[in-house]
Amino acid sequence: MKAWIGFTFALLLCSCTTIQNRDQSSAETAIHTANRHFEAAHLHGDAAAIAAQYTEDAQLLWEDRPIIQGRAAIEAEWRKDIGGPGRKATIRALEIEEHGNWAYETSMFLVTAPDGKVIYDGKYICVWKREKGSWMIHRDIGNQNRRSR
């Protein structure tokens, strides 16, 4: 009987670990997918598609700017930042970690002109929140390494 209880407990523990690992990879997969969608939207100058990745009460905390809050304000800021179709943004995720309904991402980015000239590069941390089963950006904190010339 004790062996059966021990076996049941071990099986339950393995099941919980498997579920936890599956959840972690789901955040990582979702964020990688969202980054590819961001890159495509950026290339097409689609600020609305980028803003749709944020929670309604999200905040942008970017250098040299006040806090930008709310999806509509975030869309307007991205519209200014993108400047129109053709600018390519490339994201390289360095770390993604999930904790329940929250995850964080540390990444680097590179923005180039249609001719391939580097406009700027930088790094950011996004705090992601799972809402209604979807991972959304809740806080976007970033800055540039190089200014455009």
| 108 Cβ contact list (under 8 Å, min separation 6) | 91, 92, 94, 121, 122, 123
The two three-digit tokens of residue 129, written as one number: 């929140």
Nearest residue to 53 (alpha-carbon basis) of 141, 139, 144, 142: 139
Tell me which residue has tokens 């339950």.
12
Please tell me the distance from the alpha carbon of residue 142 to that of residue 68, in angstroms, as a whole number: 13
pLDDT (tens digit, 0 to 9) for every residue of the chain, 149 residues total? Answer: 444 343 333 333 343 333 333 344 589 999 999 999 999 999 999 999 999 999 999 999 999 899 999 999 999 999 999 987 899 999 999 999 999 999 999 999 999 999 999 999 999 999 999 999 999 999 999 999 966 55
Task: Please name the fold of domain 2-144.
Answer: Nuclear Transport Factor 2; Chain: A, (3.10.450)
Please tell me the distance from the alpha carbon of residue 20 to that of residue 131, in angstroms, as a whole number: 18
